[in-house]
Structure 1
């Protein structure tokens, strides 16, 4: 199993994320970092982490030519032999049982849709400034979507939903089999700019016969607060998603193989 982390020019957040990887009770077999053109401070954080990590760390980077997350993720996945990929963003701090939970939920014929706890700005700034992430209580102040902060593995089977849904998929906490990813040709590199590259991939997963497994009360993670991304391409990308879904498209021309 590989843990895939996508990042872009936010080394302070990435450091908190990588610290949380070191605290995992069960580690992934390798960590692959898809870096969409970050500068030297990010490289320094990754190099420092690689020195203390007990599992291999691979850093995939290309020059900064705007938002090209799909391209660098496809490259990173091409660079791993792992059969199963757990994907997060570089602003997602992990609960200590995150990898363990994902390992336990992996199931043939399904891709995983996880959830995240949205951290308030004040808490996020405190963590970033101190360089230390403190444990979050589901009942703490300012926590939205508290249900996502609860880890109750015994009850998780009661709330896991299996469906043919794709429009709720988030790349910030998801997992899939590498073979399934290659079968649909990975992320669609035609989607330029922020938005909907994850649900468009999910639509092709569904069209190719997979189902979604939506996991709650397990695989907990915390999303550091930040300003919204530039959404100028969002509507165009959403139209591509609808087209993919409605036409039953299973393979994108310009993706993992292009």
Structure 2
């Protein structure tokens, strides 16, 4: 049976304007052999309309995995998306992260048994997020330092992520002090490794829920590679009205417990038996 090179799982919730930009970014990737699965945490029909618009622009059909809006249940919909995936290698990102044209190719280039890949993002202010047009994505202008400066972005060290020099990127991946954690906006790994720890913990809401899964991957013997300067995506700005301090504290306690007790498998994951 034929298997595409990887499945891209994109989480979203009522952000159809941003999702349009994100899917456009995937439509111009240098690597074409992938499927997209939209993990939709209860959006309205406006999100489905965006998906329908892009349906014919990819080699493989987009899958839309949706459940009812009952609050923040990202982990649950991600687990459903994992079960729907057709590839043995999974790339996870968010519906507000526009990928550079070599994003998918880079994840495939660095993938390796025994590892997951840890990427980052370049965060944009709302003014520039709104300014980015379809042409800016198709022509890749929104990833160019000169273009961003023209839109009013101030010069800072983080701009070095966008240099596009692979030797510099490799060096920066090596020296960066940032932890090689599982970041939900830009991480990938083998499906079997994720199934081996029972996927995402559905007890957790917003606040380190992605990293918690990565920490269980570590507990199960996996290592991680840093690719934050190689696999580039720009993060479009948005509000976070769903942040709940009590839930964030609960997530932190779960992560501390898992670390202390070397937890790998959780019962509140993909397999509920």
TM-score surpassing 0.5?
A: yes
Q: CA deviation at 1:26?
A: 0.7
| TM-score, scaled relative to structure 2 | 0.87
Say whether 1:45 aligns with 2:50.
Answer: yes
CA contact (8 A) 2:32 2:58 kept: no
Q: CA deviation at 1:235?
A: 1.4
**Paired residues for 1:178-257 under 5 Å:** 178-191=191-204, 193-232=205-244, 233-257=247-271
Q: CA deviation at 1:238?
A: 1.4
Structure 1 Cα separation of the partners of residues 216 and 192 of structure 2: 13
Closer/same/farther in 2, CA of residues 166 and 10 from structure 1, 3 Å limit: same
Residue 26 of structure 1 is aligned with which of 26, 31, 40?
A: 31
The C-alpha deviation readout for 1:193-217, integer Å capped at 9, x for no partner, is 3111111001100000001111133
**Paired residues for 1:121-200 under 5 Å:** 121-127=126-132, 130=133, 132-134=135-137, 135-136=141-142, 137-138=144-145, 140-141=148-149, 142=153, 145-161=158-174, 168-191=181-204, 193-200=205-212
| TM-score, scaled relative to structure 1 | 0.92
Residue 107 of structure 1 is aligned with which of 109, 112, 117?
A: 112
CA contact (8 A) 1:203 1:245 kept: yes
Query: 131-140 vs 60-69, which deviates more?
Result: 131-140
CA contact (8 A) 1:37 1:64 kept: yes
CA contact (8 A) 1:2 1:86 kept: yes
- SS of the equivalent of 2:43 reads coil
Structure 2 Cα separation of the partners of residues 230 and 56 of structure 1: 31
- SS of the equivalent of 1:254 reads coil
- SS of the equivalent of 1:155 reads helix
Structure 2 Cα separation of the partners of residues 202 and 160 of structure 1: 18
Specify every segment of 5 or more residues in structure 1 that has no aligned partner in the other structure, as ranges. Answer: none
Closer/same/farther in 2, CA of residues 167 and 54 from structure 1, 3 Å limit: closer
Say whether 1:86 aligns with 2:99.
Answer: no
Residue 21 of structure 2 is aligned with which of 6, 11, 16?
A: 16
CA contact (8 A) 1:74 1:256 kept: yes
CA contact (8 A) 1:194 1:229 kept: no
CA contact (8 A) 1:113 1:212 kept: yes
Q: CA deviation at 1:166?
A: 6.5
Q: Which structure features the higher share of helix residues?
A: 2
CA contact (8 A) 1:166 1:199 kept: no
